[in-house]
Chain A
């Protein structure tokens, strides 16, 4: 059973596992998916790409940012049957740029990053890095690129 203690203005409650088994009666306010104030995921409500998404790990802001944006946008809006098959040129340009900065984009992750961009674009539900716990990731490989890029 839970025990309660009061120390001045501070209340201390001890609970066992059983105490917390019953569902909570606390009410939370319903979320508005179109709340303009909220941090957005990878895809904005308008359908555009949120280049500032932490999940992109800064790919859009670095020296190859322009090339990355071109390639990824092309992929995102691609209507081909094999999505992105009409974007090979942009991806190639991006690849060339990434190779010029091996310190920032280590070689073994290049393949991963392009594959990852396809993955994250493919996922329909927008990632929510803000609401997601800090250890969550919508895009493991991309973040790997970033974190290992800095190692």
Chain B
């Protein structure tokens, strides 16, 4: 630039004289930065002292030199700006995610060509403008014009770059943190109620929203060897479906969310929200990206707990331990079950028992040893009354599982290529792999930065009956400790609750203001012979009243689904209600059960009011159960209430 100035200064006196007239002409015509070389002042009636052919030649040379000088100046200016632009893009790029580095190069390339293409006409525009005006007056103007030309270019360039990269929306009207069942149900609800809603789901899992129950049930019973890839399963009635709620085409790309005319649901995978600014209505992701919102749902679910003794036991033990919640856990456990001889499941609740039964079934084909151990007296010891828990344990054993009751783990070590589990009462179990199914720790990482209340009794974010934590923030699913008008404050970790609460949160985010009222249910199948559905507070420490009838072969989960033509019960209570096909009534042989608990209803009482009900091998009666809990009445004779269920019929 300095050299240019120097050159200009030298040429100035010469140029000034010859271009005085042209300058006057240009001023009259009006100055503009137009690209049309409106005044190439070579047509020159120069009235100066110069005249004649030789002078014309000199003049031509002068103009030529000036032109070249101007061109050089313009090119150098633009190149300098390009340099600045590149640096700015690099700064922006470093803020974005590392995985997009490939994509960065692509948009930068067309941008560069654009810049170069723009540089040429710009240079031309700058040149005549510079030659037309003698410096120094022209200099600032020329520089200004070049910079002006370059500046909008730079800004435009930056904007274009920002748009053409996989740019994440910096604002989402509806932001859902977490990409599980509750989040998906909320997204659906919002889209149904707010036409054209733009919903952004941010999840730290790599997968689109999917349902979890099949991961510990149906997927294990699939005949398809590629099930770990397809994640599809055939239900009892032959209908097949994927565990994903919707295929990828249901969602729109995150980049399109801003401009989508009818809105849509976009899912941002592999990103974690690490900070929440409630006052500013925005969140920050783990790559420093910020997203502002109008309404936000926290549906972060939880993280499986592990036993402290295992965590302290060292790497060799941890390498051989699985906690189970996600798709990846399913894939890895499936692989392990094919490559080891012995698996031990620690935990006797829903997940532990279901996995034990699923693996137990595999054990009959492969000779895999399946052990299940837990501190309670029987399977589902915290849920079922003792007599039923014992009965269930016998059923689990029949599925091929070695059940070790009243087992408290004292230490785990890795010895002689096996894991050695020492129990407090002295028993020792040697196994190849451990699955820890000992509960879920609700994810309340955002509580601190967002200033949200965490419940000390149940864990999770504390929300009101409308699932609201603070003004624009709702919480649903496993992470929500909510006020249930009927049953009191609680936190529920079941699939249907995630659907119901997610749906409710979505409704309330779109202005409904409805409290949690529709009671969610849950179910469990422990093999083909034992299945039950439940609703409300089902805690074995409560007094119970069980009313049983003798079961026939028709009263099994398998028969129930065959008859009603539905798929799995994961579907029924959610968005899809299934067909009620009429199955031919086959005569049912009466199967004599040695133990009596074939089918029945169990009522859980709290101060004489029914707060929970289990339908034991009795299906399609959930509405009646729901009604009884909703009423919240004291019933003198629960046998009379049991009559409402017609347990002797199908």
Q: Taking beta carbons and an 8 Å cutoff, which residues of A are in contact with B? A: 2, 7-17, 19-20, 22-29, 36-39, 51-52, 54-58, 60-63, 65-66, 69, 101, 103-104, 129-140, 143-144, 146-148, 150-151
Contacts and interface: CB of A to CB of B under 8 A. Distances in A.
B572 to A, nearest CB: 4
Given A7-B386, A52-B503, A134-B622, A26 B641 contact: yes
B622 A24 contact: no
A15 B549 contact: yes
Interface stretch (B212-220, B247-255, B335-343, B454-462): B247-255
Contacts of B630: 29
Contact of B249 (A103, A130, A132): A103
B416 interface: no
A24 B548 contact: no
A147 B241 contact: yes
15 contacts: A10-B385, A11-B544, A12-B387, A15-B547, A17-B648, A26-B643, A37-B515, A51-B192, A52-B188, A58-B188, A65-B191, A103-B247, A133-B620, A135-B572, A140-B579
B361 to A, nearest CB: 24
Nearest first, the 7 A-B pairs at minimum CB distance are: A61-B191, A134-B572, A24-B643, A51-B192, A137-B577, A37-B517, A135-B564
B578 A137 contact: yes
A104 B507 CA distance: 24
A45 to B, nearest CB: 14
Given A26-B643, A52-B507, A135 B576 contact: no
B398 interface: no
Contacts of A7: 385-387
B277 interface: no
B647 interface: yes
A12 B192 contact: no
A83 to B, nearest CB: 23
Contacts of B580: 135-137, 140
Nearest to A132: B623
B548 A20 contact: no
Nearest to B641: A26
B545 interface: yes
B353 to A, nearest CB: 20
Nearest to A61: B191
Given A20-B648, A51-B192, A134-B573, A62 B250 contact: yes
Contact of A20 (B265, B571, B572, B646): B646
B237 to A, nearest CB: 11
Interface in B304-327: none
B592 interface: no
Nearest to A130: B518
Interface in B613-642: 619-623, 626-628, 630-631, 633, 635, 637, 639-642
A51 to B, nearest CB: 4
Interface string B280-320: 00000000000000000000000000000000000000000
Contacts of B571: 147
B517 to A, nearest CB: 4
A12 B548 contact: yes
A38 B486 CA distance: 13
B196 A66 contact: yes
A140 B572 CA distance: 12
Interface in B526-559: 542-549
Given A38-B518, A55-B577, A147-B578, 8 more contacts: A7-B386, A7-B387, A17-B549, A104-B247, A134-B521, A135-B564, A147-B571, A151-B239
B195 A61 contact: no
B546 A11 contact: yes
B240 interface: yes
Given A52-B193, A62-B250, A134 B387 contact: no
B192 A61 contact: yes
Contact of A9 (B507, B514, B543, B626): B543
Q: Which of A25, A61, A144 is packed against the most chain B CB atoms within 10 Å?
A: A61
B297 to A, nearest CB: 15
Q: Which of B542, B575, B623, B642 is packed against the most chain A CB atoms within 10 Å?
A: B575
Contacts, number: 201
Nearest to A147: B576
A146 to B, nearest CB: 5
B633 A143 contact: no
Interface string B494-515: 0000000001001100000011
A103 B241 CA distance: 12
Contacts of B189: 52, 61
B192 A65 contact: yes
A71 B544 CA distance: 51
B112 interface: no
Nearest to A65: B191
Interface in B184-243: 187-193, 195-196, 232, 239-242
B539 to A, nearest CB: 12
Contacts of B573: 134
Interface in B68-99: none
B246 A104 contact: yes
Contacts of A11: 543-546
Contacts of B244: 150
B106 interface: no
B387 A51 contact: no
Contacts of B564: 135
Contact of A10 (B521, B544, B567): B544
B264 interface: yes
Interface in B419-441: none
Contacts of A146: 575-576
Given A11-B546, A24-B640, A63 B250 contact: yes
Contacts of A101: 249-250
A58 B574 CA distance: 10
A58 B209 CA distance: 15
A13 B578 contact: no
Nearest to B384: A10
Interface in B356-396: 385-387
Contacts of A63: 249-250, 252, 262, 264
